[in-house]
């Protein structure tokens, strides 16, 4: 990457091009970042266009012009699709299938089409849980998982051999004294037609349609456990606590709840109020009693909301979750000591317990 002078970019031209060529209209924010090295050889800035993801029901966006082999605009259209860290285009076969599916749906009598279940609102689910627990003013890390095709009621939700039983009998790595969502003293309670297992520092709920919302306070009571070493260090995130809770969430959800509803799921992590003074902080590597000066990074935003398509593998999904949390602090998940080959390794993490 090469930094450059801000005068080289005319933001209004970018805005005009996107508004003219992309349908439907998409939400884009524009950010400048100064290059961290102030030396003469690398002075300048980076310019970032941050495109907000479209709702599932409105995907995908269509671009009304295409680039030819000379990088010039020409007549035509294309559908860009994000795939991991790159962009690919929708194939002609897929476009043909989608057009045919749309035509067939127009020919189907309206009375023959079942009314879809309105998708759950993840933001409202988080607000409801905060209000229930009285956490509206605390820094909180949320995990959420939502099915693409939501049933009105998940089969076996309240059964002892279903999701209630899975919450009651969690296969936690450390059932006593670990950082997880299990409880040896209470079972899940009825909550808004679903289930809630909670105490004063962590919670996990399952809605009637299968949507999962979990949360943990980012204070010395949970995610900052044992990090109060003076000079305000209670705001620092404990790497073991964060890693263990991340893995335990996906060990439970990927194995016990995703199979209850067929089709793709979307996972999400949300860090709320992490930038409130004193800001939450995180350091690369393992916990240290005496961190080097400058090692700890503060949260770069107050509220952080990122999602991805569920892979169904707890270690892979835990890595994806860590990657998004670490990015909030300007870090990479590979700097986590328990990550191996783009997975949050159960075996390596367990070495921290000994």
Strand 212-217's sheet: what is its strand order? 189-191, 194-198, 202-206, 212-217, 140-147, 265-272, 303-309
Q: In angstroms, how far is the first alpha carbon of the chain from the final one? A: 42
Distance CA 344, CA 53 (A): 26
Would you state the torsion angle of the CA atoms of residues 52, 55, 59, 65, taken in this order, to the nearest 10 degrees? -30
Q: What is the pTM of this model?
A: 0.68
Beta bridge partners of 214: 143, 204
pLDDT tens, N- to C-terminus, the chain (354 residues): 788 888 888 888 888 888 888 888 888 888 888 888 765 566 788 899 888 888 776 777 888 888 887 878 888 888 888 766 777 787 777 777 777 777 766 665 655 555 555 556 889 999 999 999 999 999 999 999 999 888 889 999 999 999 999 999 999 999 888 999 999 888 999 999 999 999 999 999 999 999 999 999 999 999 999 886 555 445 899 999 999 999 999 999 999 999 999 999 999 999 999 999 899 999 999 987 655 555 789 999 999 999 999 999 999 999 999 999 999 999 999 999 999 999 999 999 998 887
Distance CA 57, CA 304 (A): 23
Distance CA 170, CA 244 (A): 14
Distance CA 210, CA 4 (A): 48
């Amino acid at each position: 990457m090469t930094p450059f002078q801000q005068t080289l970019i005319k933001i209004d031209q970018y805005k005009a091009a996107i508004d003219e060529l992309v349908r439907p209209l998409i939400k884009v924010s524009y950010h400048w970042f100064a290059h961290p090295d102030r030396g003469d050889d690398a002075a300048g800035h980076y310019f970032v266009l941050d495109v907000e993801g479209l709702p599932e029901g409105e995907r995908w966006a269509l671009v009304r012009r295409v680039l030819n082999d000379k990088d010039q605009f020409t007549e035509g259209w294309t559908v860009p699709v994000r795939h991991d860290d790159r962009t690919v285009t929708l194939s002609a076969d897929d476009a043909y299938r989608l057009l045919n599916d749309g035509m067939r749906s127009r020919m189907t009598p309206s009375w023959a089409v079942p009314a879809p279940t309105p998708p759950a609102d993840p933001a409202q689910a988080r607000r409801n849980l905060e209000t229930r627990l009285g956490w509206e003013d605390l820094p909180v890390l949320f995990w959420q998982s939502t099915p693409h095709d939501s049933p009105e009621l998940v089969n076996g939700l309240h059964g002892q051999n279903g999701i209630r039983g899975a919450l009651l009998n969690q296969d936690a790595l450390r059932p006593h004294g670990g950082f997880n969502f299990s409880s040896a003293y209470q079972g899940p309670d009825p909550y808004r037609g679903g289930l809630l297992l909670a105490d004063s520092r962590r919670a996990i709920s399952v809605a009637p349609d299968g949507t999962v919302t979990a949360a943990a306070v980012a204070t010395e009571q949970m995610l900052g456990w044992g990090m109060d070493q003076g000079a305000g260090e209670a705001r620092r995130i404990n790497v073991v606590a964060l890693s263990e809770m991340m893995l335990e969430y996906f060990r439970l959800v990927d194995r016990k709840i995703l199979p209850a509803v067929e089709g793709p799921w979307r996972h999400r992590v949300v860090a709320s109020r992490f930038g409130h003074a004193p800001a939450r902080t995180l350091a690369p590597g393992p916990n240290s009693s005496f961190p080097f000066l400058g090692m700890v990074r503060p949260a770069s935003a107050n509220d952080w909301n990122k999602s991805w398509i569920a892979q169904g593998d707890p270690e892979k999904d835990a890595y994806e979750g860590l990657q998004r949390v670490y990015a909030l602090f300007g870090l990479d998940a590979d700097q986590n000591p328990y990550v191996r080959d783009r997975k949050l390794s159960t075996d390596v993490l367990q070495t921290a317990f000994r």
